[in-house]
Amino acid sequence: MGSIDMSASADFDVLIIGAGISGINAAYRVQTELPAYKYAILESRNAIGGTWDLFRYPGIRSDSDLYTFGFAWRPWSSPKSIADGESIRTYVKESAEQYGIDQKIKFHHKVLAGDWSSADQRWNLTVDNNGDKKTFSARFMILSTGYYDYNEPLKADIPGIDKFHGQVIHPQFWPEDLDYSEKKIVVIGSGATAITLIPSLADNAAKVTMLQRSPTYIMALPTVDPSGNWMRSWFPSWLASKLIRWQFLVLSFIFFKFCKAFPNAGKKLIRANNKKLVPPSIPLDPNFKPSYNPWEQRLCVCPDGDFFKSLQKGKADVVTDTIKNVTGNGIQTEGGKFLDTDIIITATGLKMQLAGGMNVSVDGKVILPANKYIWKGVMLQDLPNAAFVVGYTNASWTLGADVTAKLVCRLLKRMDANKQSSAVPRVPEGKNLKPVQLLNLNSTYIEKAKGTLPMGGDIAPWKPRANYLVDHWTADYGNLTADLEFTKGLKSKAY
């Protein structure tokens, strides 16, 4: 590792960490709402797109509609509401280029640590740039680093996996040259990645088996929404885009609330959808009968029923069982089945990580996020001038990212108007908060992340966000002073 390059030090009003969809969105909001601000994006990799550039497994696509997953300021214009990874990657890249955001990105800049100086009222960031250490300074920091570890997947305890003679692949690190044609494949897992992978693999593989410990809820939805085409034919494009976006926003919100309020009715609706599409050769129970209620874990979507079509063609199968042991040429289940296979794909989830793994401290004292509450789903208790971008579990990630960016811009405007240099969330003395899980799902990867993520509280403004419509209003008009401690001493900026 090289020495610290002081000549490369740079001073900014705002530094955005990460050039994925959250970082590009934050950059747009900063340069639009705060045009006098000097900002940059620090990106550890060499490309725009974050997840959509990292993940390259077959069939990679969104599991949210692109009308709400896309940017509000550059509406998704394709008739396809569910899009493939390459289309999303291109969309994010073109959006950045169109608004000059790409010129603000510093690639191969991995932030190792950030220390807030109370004396200087600044963040000092230590950054690795291809082996050389640089220092960056900023008044405010927006952490658009996603929610998982890019370098290490979630570790799955699979007995005997080291004995397997074939290839073991995690989708996060898909080999570019993998030839799986006419191969027997077992995909371990039943989440969105498995549901996406299987129909794509089934086109060329000899057979693909989804081995799941427990089933998940899967809904087949049309790739192209007919009502969207109707709106485009009758309204100007700008109005049609808004109407389509709000249609998807409201309908998905209503369906989520319906499932939470009437879980048995939600189960019946999803089961009826499955019953029409699952072939008679595969029993609905236990393969499509989850042990939990809808939206206690994220619901999976398959466009045009592609997952079910692969089952109908006999190219894919589902086995609900636990693994007893992996042998040299297959998997032995506790239920007595042996799955002969050439390739094992461990679609067992992502390892959750906050702030891209960087260390954060205040005046040299390390702050551990897991010991802190999060203010309005945005700022960490006792950490000045820093926003963590966290999306929704029951809606598109970008909705949460945009709420965060808009709230930060409004807060900075208010601080400038009042000549305040910093804002730090504090839990007032005597305010007894009860911890609430930040992400309201019981999925395995979230359960395993306990002790890593910050806590939500049971009292506002510490409650975790859960309703985009409410949060959208709060970002634009809500209280910006409750449980925030401000420091004076700033020359205001003109806009």
Please give the pLDDT value at position 244: 85
Q: Considering the chain, what is the average pLDDT of its residues?
A: 90
Please give the pLDDT value at position 445: 59
Q: What structural domains does the chain harbor?
A: 4-150+352-488 (3.50.50.60), 161-346 (3.50.50.60)
**CA atoms of 274 and 302, how far apart (whole Å):** 11
Please give the pLDDT value at position 179: 93
Please give the pLDDT value at position 4: 38
Other beta carbons less than 10 A from residue 426's beta carbon: 12
Other beta carbons less than 10 A from residue 231's beta carbon: 18
CB 363 within 8 A of CB 117: yes
Task: Calculate mean pLDDT across residues 399-415.
Answer: 96
Q: The whole model's pTM is what?
A: 0.92
Please give the pLDDT value at position 6: 37
Q: Please state, for a pLDDT cut of 70, what percent of the chain lies above it.
A: 95
Half-sphere exposure of 451 (CA within 13 A, CB side): 3
Please give the pLDDT value at position 352: 77
Type of residue numbered 265: A
pLDDT bracket for residue 1 (50, 70, 90): very low
Cβ neighbours for 476, distance < 8 A, ≥ 6 positions apart: 406, 410
pLDDT bracket for residue 491 (50, 70, 90): low
